[in-house]
Structure 1
Amino acid sequence: MSASPDQDLSPKIVGAVANAVSILRSLAQMSEPAGVAVIARDTGVSVSTCFNILRTLSTERLVDFDAEAKTYRIGLGVLELSLPLLGANQADLIRPELARLSGEHKSLLCLWQVTDGERIVLVDRVSTAKTVRVDMSDGSRLPTFVGAVGRCYAALRNLPRDELKLRFDALQWQAPPSFEDYAADVEKARRDGYAFDLGQLFKGLEIAAAVVTDAEGRPRLGISGISIAGQLSREDIERLGVDLRDSADWISEALFGVSRGVRQSERRLAGGRAAPQGRGGQR
C-alpha cells in the first residue's frame, strides 16, 4: 500500500521552518528585546539567515522590530495563533505527546494530576499496542510518594531524610523496596530527572516516569510509561525514562513557562556538576 502525502513515514525537515521555530522559541525565553547577532548566537542560525527570517516574521507580526534600537521581541501575532489553545484542557493538549511516546516505546502512557492532598489522579492514558497490553482506569488514585512518579515527586520535594522515611513507611507496595533503596532512587531521580519502579508498586509491571513542574518548581503533573515485565529490554526502559524526562521538560516550558535550560541546570547542580554558561544558565 502506498502512503499518501499526509502519511509520509519519514517526513523531511524543512530547514527554514525549523530555524524560524528556533528563533521564536529563543525570543519567547528572552527577558528583553535582542539584536540579530544575539539571536543568531543563541539559536546557532547564521546571522544572514537569522536576519531574513526575522524580517519575514516581523512582516507576519510574529515578532516586533524596534527600528531605533535594531532589536526584536516576540510579537502579538503569536498570541493570535495560540487562541484556540487558550483555556483548553491540559490533558487534551498533552495527549498527542502521550500517543507519540506510546507508539515509540510500545507502552501504556499515563498522565497523572498532582493534587494538594498528596495524591496523584490518573487523568488520561494512551496505549497504541495492538496485542497484549496493560491498562489502568481513569480516576485511579495513588499516594504521591509511591512508584516511579513518587520517586520523582520526592526528589523535587527534597525533604529531610527522617521526614522522607515517615512518608515512605505509610506507603503500600506489592513488593516493597527497602527505604535505603528507595532513598537512593530518589537521589538518582534528582540528578537524572526520571525514575523507575520495576515490579515493586505492582508485581509484573515495569514503570518509568518523570514529573512536570510549574514556574515555582512545584510538581504539577506526572507522566509514566508502563509495560509488562520483560516486554522491554533494560536499555529500552532507560530510553523511555530519558524520553519521558525530555517530554516533561518541554511540557513544563509550554504550559508553565519553565525554561528547559533551568530544569537541566538544576539536575546538573544536583549531580554536583556546574551549570554551563549560556541560555540555560542565564534564564
Structure 2
Amino acid sequence: MQPPSSAPGCCRRGRSRPKSASAAASRRGPLCPSSGMIVTHAQAQGVPDYPSPCCYQPPPCRGRSSGRQRYIPLALTINVPEGKSGKKKCKGCPMCCTKRVATQPSALSVIFQEQKYPEPVYYQNIDAVAIPKFFSKWECQRLITFVEEAGFDVHQNECSIKCCWRDIVDKSFAKALWHICGLQWFMRGIRIKGMVPVGVNDVVRFVKYTKGGRFGRHIDQEVRRLDGRISVYSLRVFLNGSDREFDGGSSVFHMPFRADPVCVEAETGLALLYPQGEMCTVQEEAEVTWGCKHVLRADVLFAPPCLLTTESADGF
C-alpha cells in the first residue's frame, strides 16, 4: 500500500524526502490513507486488527532521535459535530433525501389491531380482484362513525355525479391499510413495468351515496407523486352492504367484449382491487334508490426498486 501524495512526510514540488525519514517510515510501515495512522505490514495487506481513529489510544510516547531530527508517534482524534456526517447526501432522489420520521398512530389507524392475510377471489369477467372480509363489520362501523363526525363535502353535476365525499390525509392510516390489513403480504410478488408495490397513498377518500346518489361512467386516473411513486391500482372497500342498509348502488363494469355490463353487489368489508389509467375498465356506481351507501377509495403506489429505501419500504 502506497501512501497518498498528500500524506505526512511527503515533500512537494519535486523535492526528495530525507533518507533518514524514508528509512524511518519503512521501519514503521505504511500510513493508513483514511486516517494517517501507522499500521503494520500485516494490516496493510488487509487484516483489520487496528482500532478505529475515533477510539485509537496511542502507545506511550517513546521518542527516537536520528541526528538532529526527533520522531514522536502521534494519534489524531477528530470530533465530528452532532448532526453532521462525512457521507454525501443524494441530490437527485427525493426518496433518498427524505428524513425518516416516526409516524404517530392516528384515530383511524388504531381501529386495525389484528394482522390479516387476505384470500382473494378472482373474477373471470372483469379485470378486478375481490378480497372478502378485508374489513370486519366492526371496523367498517368505526370508520363510518369517524367520517360522519368529520363531515362530507357535496359534489354533483347534472349529468353524472351526485354524491358526497371527504378526503383525509393520514400516513398512519395508509400504513395500517398496507401492513395490518395485509395488502403488502398479498401484493408481495407483483411487478409491473419494472416497478414494485410500496404502499398506499396517504390521501384516502370516503364516499357517501344517499338516495339518488350516483357516479357516472369513468375511469380511475393514476396519481404521480413528487417522490417518484406512481399509483397503479385502485382499492375500493364497501363499508356497508346492500342487503339491509340501501337498495341499488351496484358497482357496474362495462367490458369492451361484452354487450351487458358486469355488476358487483356491495358487501360489508368487501374490497375490490383493479388497475388504473389506460388499463382501467370503464365503470360507474349505479343510483341508490333507498338508504345510504359508504365506500372507501385509496390508491396503491408503485416505484422502481432503485428508488426504494427503508422509509419507502415501510408503506409510506
The normalised TM-score by structure 1 is 0.25
Structure of greater Rg: 2
Which structure has the highest helix share of the two? 1
